Structure formats: structure tokens, C-alpha cells
Amino acid sequence: MSFKFAVGQAVEYKPTGGKLGLYTVVRQMPEEFRAFDRKYRIKSQYEHFERNVLECDLSESQQSPTLYAKLLPLRLHGGR
């Protein structure tokens, strides 16, 4: 089985309880024994950390990165 997304590719991901956002694939994780799905590390330019996610939770981004800035919670932009 091959990876669906490449390192550096823009993808959409919606965290549990969060809003849809634009992320970049940072790394394709090593295959685990009897794993159901591939794993990736992704990063948003608006977060200071990376996330481990399953391939089934990602989709290829078709939108402009500026669209996602409008969807971000105000607290990420310094608001309350």
C-alpha cells in the first residue's frame, strides 16, 4: 500500500471539536504491523506543534490558504 499524500502537500484536517484547517504534511510515518491506515505528521502555520493523524482523516486541499485564516478561532489571532 502506498501513501496518498506527499511530504509538503497541503491537506485539510478537522480536529475533533475544532474547525477545518489547512495543514502541511511534514512526514509520512513508518508502517505499523497490521495497521488499518497510514499515519502522517501534519503542521498548521497557526499552531506551534505537529499532529499525528490517520490518512482517512485527511483530504487534499482545493482551497486557497487565505480562506483558512477566516475559519480560525479568534484566540489564535490574539482576540478573546
Please compute the mean of the pLDDT values over residues 36-59 and round it to a whole number.
Answer: 92
Please compute the mean of the pLDDT values over residues 49-69 and round it to a whole number.
Answer: 81
**CA-based torsion, 35, 37, 42, 46: positive or negative:** negative
Provide the pLDDT for residue 74. Answer: 44
Average pLDDT of the chain to the nearest whole number:
81
Cα–Cα dist 43/51, whole Å? 6
Domain boundaries, the chain: 10-77
What percentage of the chain carries pLDDT values higher than 90? Answer: 50
| Contact indicator for 27, 35 with CB cutoff of 8 Å | no
